[in-house]
Amino acid sequence: MAVNAKHLATFILGAAAGAALTKYIHTEEGEKMMDDLKEKGNQFKSEAEAALENAPEYFDSLKTQLADLLRNNFPDAEKAINDVLGKKPELPASGTPADTTGA
């Protein structure tokens, strides 16, 4: 790839911005900004770790709520899903298929 004037100008502007940022960071205001950024970063890290720890419980709860919602609002949903997936209904303890007609 050939280096043209546009690439050279971009490099020079990037280097100048980096030098200006480095000079700014070493001021009192720059150090305060870096401390604030570090504090925010640590706060986000703590929140992410807490969310990761709570994720299994959250998804179990969500799964239970969805199952209850389907059961309450769509009583035939389990049968329909089993029909689509080609699953046979589970046999109750008596050994005969469960009556899913609601009669």
Residue with tokens 């546009």: 6
Tens digit of each residue's pLDDT (9 = 90 or more) over 41-93: 999 999 999 999 999 999 999 999 988 888 888 888 778 888 888 877 665 65
96 phi and psi, to 5 degrees?
A: -110, 150
User: Which amino acid appears at position 93 of this protein?
Assistant: A
Q: Is residue 51 part of a domain?
A: yes
Q: Is residue 55 part of a domain?
A: yes
Rounded to two decimals, what is the model's pTM?
Answer: 0.45
For Cα atoms 48, 53, 54, give the angle at the middle one, nearest 5 degrees: 95
How many structural domains are present in the chain? 1
Look up the domain containing 43 and give its range.
24-85
CA distance 99 to 79: 11
